[in-house]
Amino acid sequence: MGSVLCVGWSALAARTLSYHGIFPLQRLIAMTDIADTLLNTLEHCDMVEIDGLHAFEFSLDEVDNLHIECMDGRAAKHWEFTPAQVQAATFDPTLQSWLITGDSGEHRLVCLTAIGGHDDEDDVPENA
């Protein structure tokens, strides 16, 4: 696994949303259909694409701010969104992405899930 970049907050205090850790279910906002929230979508994804950049590191800090980190060439990129900004994010069904507005402007998020496969060739002995 890659190393975790920590910018301005403790890695121990961060709660990772992706496959690196457990997502805090009690933080979901009570709604009729919670499946349509960005927070719920992040719970079930393995990677986020933000403004065309792929990020495996995304987490909630101790005050529930969403942090997304990735590398763009040699430059580390970091975005931070408040709980209110995450709650206000809207899904664009045409582009299958979320629009979220932070302090640095509007960003497009695509939540991606890893696909695993099973190699059936390993189950069959070579001499069979």
Q: Tens of pLDDT along 61-82? A: 899 899 999 999 999 999 999 9
Asked if 49 and 112 count as a contact pair (C-beta separation under 8 A), the reply is: yes
pTM above 0.75, yes or no: no
How far apart, in whole angstroms, are the C-alpha atoms of residue 61 and residue 120?
41
Instruction: Check pLDDT > 70 for residue 11.
Output: no
Note the pLDDT of residue 127: 65
Number of CB atoms found within 10 A of residue 23's CB: 17
**Full set of structural domains in the chain with CATH:** 33-113 (2.30.29.190)
Contacts of residue 91, defined as CB under 8 A and 6 or more positions apart, other chains included, come to: 36, 38, 97, 98, 99
